[in-house]
Amino acid sequence: MVKIKVVEGDITKVKVDAIINAANTTLMGGGGVDGAIHRAAGPALYAACERFGGCPTGEARITSGFNLPASYIIHTPGPVWRGGQHGEDQLLANSYRNSLELADQNGCRTVAFPSISTGVYSFPLDRAAKIAIRTIRKFSQTARQVDEVTMVCFDPTTARAYQAAL
C-alpha cells in the first residue's frame, strides 16, 4: 500500500525520487509551480522539455531533476476548469495516474505532487483534492515501485483541502 501524506511547503525543495510539475501543454515553463520548478531546475530543463514538442492535457513526460533535490521531474498538464462539463474530472485523474505510472516505470519510490490545476487553471480545490487522493489510492493497488506519495501544498488552505480528502 502506498503511504500518502500532506505537507505544506515548496515542492522545489523536496528531496524525493520524482516531483510532479503542473505544467502547461507546451512544457516550456509558465507561472505558479511550473515557473518555480523551471527556475529552480535551471536552463537545462527548458532544453530537455523542448525535445518533447509539448504534451497533451492529462498525459505525462519525464526529465532529469537537474538542479533540484529530486532525481526526476514528471511534467503533466492538468485541465483548465471550464465549468465541469468538459471532462475536467477525468483529465485531472489522468494527470495523477499517468504521472504515477511514469514514476513507477522509472523506479521511483517517493513522489511529490503539487495541487494540479487549482491555481491559474481554476479547478475547484476540494473537488481536485478528492480526485487526487482517490486516484492515488486506486493506483496504489497496482504500484510496483512507488511506496510514498506526498502532496506538497503551497498554502494552509490547500493543505487543509488535501487533509480533508485524505
Cα diameter, the chain: 39
Q: Is 166 helix (H, G, I), strand (E, B) or coil?
A: coil
Cβ atoms of 84 and 57 within 8 Å: the answer is: no
Write the single-letter amino acid at 129: A
8 burial (CB, 10 Å; 0-12 / 13-18 / 19+) is: middle
Euclidean distance between CA atoms 128 and 98, whole angstroms: 16
Main-chain dihedrals φ then ψ at residue 18, nearest 5 degrees: -145, 135
Q: Is 10 a catalytic residue?
A: no
Dist. CA 157–CA 119, nearest whole Å: 12
Q: Which of 10, 17, 34, 104 is catalytic?
A: 34
Measured distance CA(145)–CA(104) in Å, rounded: 5
Residues taking part in catalysis:
34
